[in-house]
């Protein structure tokens, strides 16, 4: 007994000594590194002379942070990580069954989304719900839908498309232009916008899909930019950078309208106080339905021969050809189906904003949508939805963090750092889970039992 206490005490003493030593070395290295970088500063004074400023205080802070950080890391962080690793290794052997929440995640999520607007309205009132339903709910769901649409192209068929936003733009402008010129309603133009985007996908796809891998990515990127430049420069039709404004609102299948002056205004009919929140709640359900349609069609298509051919194409194109699969039409259908959902989302975007301009369809949008697909795990609907929520919801949350102003001063605007955090998050997720949040793949058919295919077997596609 005495010996054990002695040995643990001894070990603890050793650890402290080691931490002190390593902390000292870290301080020394930091001093060496930052002595010239931080400790000394050359500036020009008013007479254009070089002046050497000495910043010993700042240097001391740098050195102290390195030394103390290393000291604490060795003394507390490393043992804690090691013990966690050991604990996890012990747990893995038992292969704990998935909990109720994990098994029914998608059902719970759908129910929560359907219930969200009424709950929010009852909690923060009609006017207060605007922020949560519009900024968070609708915004996230648009990206979920776009990412699910792109998932068909990138995740299933393995075709790297960097210009997906082009189809989003085609959908948005089809709704904006056709509703203004011909007065068609949203419910007529929604499918039409999808068809036009799919048609556009075929036109683009035909020459582009002969290319593979990096070349395909570059050409799709170029086509995305071409569409944006056409929208900017074809001023007679698109009104260029001014964009198209006062796009008509959608109505509840023509029964109730949301126009303020209309006789069948939703709020008037139900005797509610006038508010734009009802329209947003209605739009929330529309985009929820559209996103769920995308998910449903994707799930169904995966079990159809065409979906299986898409995944086979991602795995090995030459083998596909040797099995009698026409790879050109298979790729085209994937491109067109993905584009169609992009078109749906685009026309929804137009009706929600009431205003479209080429500003909304820059390359950054394509990159964000692609990042969501990659982060979520290519081909996985749940993973992509989670990634979209984290990415888009996270950047919206940054806007809310006004308390950061108290720390960093009144000039600090947290949303300016969103791209930095976005990049950081991507690096962290790629290190931690290189296959995205959900890396495994559900098989589409089985004989004995359905076993998830580990991400290490699936390929990312090459063309």
Partner 1 sequence: MSALETNAMNQDPILKVEHLSMRFGGLMAINDLSFEARRGDITALIGPNGAGKTTVFNCVTGFYKPTMGMISMTQQSGKKFLLERMPDFEITRDAKVARTFQNIRMFSGLTVLENLLVAQHNMLMRASGYTILGLLGFAGYRRAKEQSIEIAKHWLEKANLLERADDPAGDLPYGAQRRLEIARAMCTGPEFLCLDEPAAGLNPRESLALNELLRSIRNETGTSILLIEHDMSVVMEISDHVIVLEYGQKISDGTPDEVKNDPRVIAAYLGVEDEEVEEVIEEIQEIQESDGEQGGKH
Report if residue 311 touches partner 1, rule: CB under 8 A. yes
Pick 70 or 441: Cβ nearer partner 1? 441
> Phi, psi at residue 310, to the nearest 5°?
-60, -50
Pick 407 or 445: Cβ nearer partner 1? 445
CA distances to 226, 373, 409, 458 from 454, rounded to whole Å, are 39, 18, 48, 7
CB of 442 to partner 1, least distance (A): 10
Pick 32 or 305: Cβ nearer partner 1? 305
- The three-point CA angle 314-318-319 to 5° equals 80
Report if residue 300 touches partner 1, rule: CB under 8 A. yes
CA 461, CA 456: separation in Å to the nearest integer?
13
Pick 176 or 325: Cβ nearer partner 1? 325
Report if residue 451 touches partner 1, rule: CB under 8 A. yes
Report if residue 106 touches partner 1, rule: CB under 8 A. no
CA 202, CA 199: separation in Å to the nearest integer?
5
Report if residue 316 touches partner 1, rule: CB under 8 A. yes
CB of 340 to partner 1, least distance (A): 13
CB of 156 to partner 1, least distance (A): 11
Report if residue 320 touches partner 1, rule: CB under 8 A. yes
Report if residue 305 touches partner 1, rule: CB under 8 A. yes
CB of 313 to partner 1, least distance (A): 9
Cβ neighbours, 10 Å, residue 175: 31
Report if residue 306 touches partner 1, rule: CB under 8 A. yes
Pick 249 or 302: Cβ nearer partner 1? 302
Return the residue of 325, 350, 356, 390 that touches partner 1, per CB under 8 A: 325
Which token pair is 91?
Answer: 């747990």
Q: Which stretch binds partner 1 (CB under 8 A): 38-46, 286-294, 314-322, 364-372?
A: 314-322
Report if residue 314 touches partner 1, rule: CB under 8 A. yes
Binding mask 268-297 for partner 1 (x = CB under 8 A): -----------------------------x
Report if residue 399 touches partner 1, rule: CB under 8 A. no
Q: Which stretch binds partner 1 (CB under 8 A): 39-47, 81-89, 313-321, 400-408?
A: 313-321
Cβ neighbours, 10 Å, residue 442: 15
Pick 19 or 325: Cβ nearer partner 1? 325
Report if residue 299 touches partner 1, rule: CB under 8 A. no
Return the residue of 131, 308, 418, 433 that touches partner 1, per CB under 8 A: 308
For binding to partner 1 (CB under 8 A), which residues are involved?
297, 300-301, 304-306, 308-309, 311-312, 314-316, 318-327, 333, 441, 443-451, 453-454, 457-459
């Amino acid at each position: 007994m005495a010996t054990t206490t002695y040995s643990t005490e001894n070990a603890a003493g050793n650890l402290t000594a080691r931490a002190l030593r390593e902390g000292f070395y870290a301080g020394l290295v930091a001093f060496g590194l930052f002595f010239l970088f931080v400790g000394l500063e050359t500036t020009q004074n008013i007479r254009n002379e070089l002046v050497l400023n000495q910043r010993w205080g700042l240097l001391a802070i740098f050195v102290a942070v390195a030394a103390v950080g290393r000291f604490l890391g060795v003394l507390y962080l490393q043992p804690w990580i090691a013990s966690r690793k050991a604990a996890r290794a012990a747990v893995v052997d038992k292969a704990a069954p998935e909990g109720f929440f994990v098994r029914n995640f998608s059902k719970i999520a759908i129910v929560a989304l359907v219930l969200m607007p009424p709950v929010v309205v009852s909690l923060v009132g009609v006017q207060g719900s605007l922020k949560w339903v519009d900024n968070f709910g609708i915004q996230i769901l648009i990206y979920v839908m776009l990412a699910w649409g792109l998932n068909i192209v990138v995740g299933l068929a393995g075709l790297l498309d960097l210009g997906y936003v082009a189809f989003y733009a085609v959908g948005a402008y089809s709704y904006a232009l056709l509703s203004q010129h011909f007065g068609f309603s949203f419910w007529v133009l929604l499918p039409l916008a999808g068809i036009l985007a799919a048609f556009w996908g075929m036109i683009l796809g035909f020459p582009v899909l002969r290319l593979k891998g990096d070349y395909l990515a570059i050409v799709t990127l170029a086509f995305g930019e071409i569409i944006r430049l056409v929208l900017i420069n074809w001023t007679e039709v698109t009104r260029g950078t001014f964009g198209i404004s006062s796009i008509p609102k959608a109505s509840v299948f023509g029964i109730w309208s949301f126009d303020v002056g209309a006789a069948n205004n939703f709020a008037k009919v139900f005797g509610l106080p006038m508010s734009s929140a009802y329209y947003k709640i209605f739009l929330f359900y529309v985009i929820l339905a559209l996103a769920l349609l995308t998910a449903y069609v994707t799930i169904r298509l995966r079990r159809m021969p065409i979906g299986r051919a898409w995944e086979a194409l991602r795995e090995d194109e030459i083998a596909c050809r040797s099995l009698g699969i026409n790879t050109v039409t298979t790729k085209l259908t994937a491109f067109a189906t993905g584009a169609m959902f992009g078109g749906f989302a685009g026309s929804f975007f137009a009706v929600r904003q009431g205003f479209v301009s080429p500003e909304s369809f820059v390359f950054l949008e394509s990159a964000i949508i692609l990042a969501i697909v990659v982060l979520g795990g290519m081909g996985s609907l749940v993973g992509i939805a989670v990634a979209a929520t984290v990415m888009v919801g996270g950047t919206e949350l940054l806007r809310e963090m006004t308390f950061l102003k108290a720390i960093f001063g009144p000039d600090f605007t947290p949303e300016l750092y969103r791209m930095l955090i976005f990049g950081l998050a991507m690096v962290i997720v790629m290190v931690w889970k290189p296959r995205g949040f959900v890396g495994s793949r559900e098989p589409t058919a089985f004989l004995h039992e359905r076993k998830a295919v580990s991400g290490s077997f699936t390929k990312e596609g090459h063309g």
